[in-house]
Amino acid sequence: MKDLTFATLIAVWEEMFGQGVFWALVALAALITGLYLYVLIRDRAMSMRKFLWAQLSMPVGAIGAVWFVLAVTSSQLSDMGGPIDWLVLGGIAAVGAVGFAILVYVVQSLVRGPRDG
């Protein structure tokens, strides 16, 4: 593994999560992103109240993402050995937090409608 390519990263993620789980996560992320774009185009503006609730939900997403990765990979926090492990775990938490905030915003917008909030 001399070169770090996109194909190499996909192969590593497929090995870590399993092919089915990895591609299901990719499909879910694409669906949520598409719905987010739909909501933004439909509403033509961001609701600050919905955005605030989405931001307040970010810690739930961070904890959930870390828990999910630790469960799927059969790892534990005691397995974290060096600084890079903690940086990767922090990255997972950050991506989970942002992804969950987007999900919360989309769900609020679809349930409440464009005018409410």
Please give the pLDDT value at position 25. Answer: 92
Give mean pLDDT, residues 16-23: 90
Whole domain around residue 46: which residue ranges?
6-112
Answer whether residue 86 is part of any domain. Answer: yes
Helix 83-112 with 58-72: angle, nearest 10 deg = 120
Note whether 100 and 56 are within 8 A (CB).
Answer: no
Establish if 94 belongs to a structural domain.
yes
In a domain, 95, yes or no: yes
- The model's confidence at residue 74, banded by pLDDT at 50, 70 and 90, is confident
* Domain membership flag for residue 66: yes
Q: What whole-number distance in Å separates Cα of residue 58 and Cα of residue 27?
A: 21
Q: Tally the domains of the chain.
A: 1
Q: Is residue 117 part of a domain?
A: no
Q: What is the pTM of this model?
A: 0.85
pLDDT at position 81 over 90: no
Beta strands in 66-109 (DSSP E): none
Q: What is the pLDDT of residue 54?
A: 95
The label of the residue with tokens 């961001």 reads: 46
Domain assignment present for 1? no
Q: What is the pLDDT of residue 59?
A: 97
94-105: average pLDDT: 96
Of 22, 21, 32, residue with least CA distance to 54: 32
- Contacting residues for 32 by C-beta, under 8 A, at least 6 apart: 99, 102, 103, 106
pLDDT given for residue 79 in this prediction: 81
